[in-house]
Amino acid sequence: MLWTITIACLLLAGLIFRQSFRKRNEAPETLGEDAGLAILEFGRAFPGEAIRAVITTANGRTVFLRLHDGKAGCMHAHGHHYACHLIEPGTVRVSSAGPKRLEVRFANAAFEGGTFEFRDEKQAAEISLWLLGSFMPGLAGQNPQISGQPG
């Protein structure tokens, strides 16, 4: 009888150790805290897009990417996978929801929008510029009316 209880306790301890070890290893991926993984996944989804800058939200579950041609990208962590979106200028609505928060609504993917909180006000302001298409140096040089020049 004593051996049965000892073996049962050892098996229970082994299961508890295995679960805690598994949770510890999966935690960064589940929370979306690995920006390198996000960059790889976005590159796999959109191989022709060059990434210039990456900013993650405060909780690390959403990653915003500034691309080479004035477009932006957005990635949401869903467990071990990311939902990748290529955002064209004019397909998103952005409004302030506080000093470090932005409310973002996507025209082509309404279910992925929401309120996002960033680490500081500077990151929130930079993301709003990316999403609103205000930072488009290529287009500003081609069309004088975009950059405020008289036409």
Q: What is the DSSP string of the chain?
A: -HHHHHHHHHHHHHHHHHHHHHHHHHHHHHHT--HHHHHHHHHHH-TTPPEEEEEE-TTSSEEEEEETTS-EEEEEEETTEEEEEEEPTTSEEEEEEETTEEEEEESS-GGG-EEEE-SSHHHHHHHHHHHHT---HHHHHH-TTTTT---
User: Are the CB atoms for 53 and 35 separated by under 8 Å?
Assistant: no
pLDDT at 59: 87
Answering whether pTM is above 0.75, one says no
* Gyration radius from the chain CA atoms: 22
Q: Please tell me the CATH code under which domain 35-137 is placed.
A: 2.30.29
pLDDT tens track of the chain, all 151 residues?
A: 888 999 888 888 888 888 877 766 554 444 445 677 778 888 899 998 888 889 999 888 889 999 888 788 888 887 777 888 888 777 788 888 888 999 988 877 666 788 999 999 999 989 888 887 755 544 444 544 444 444 4
pLDDT at 28: 46
pLDDT at 23: 62
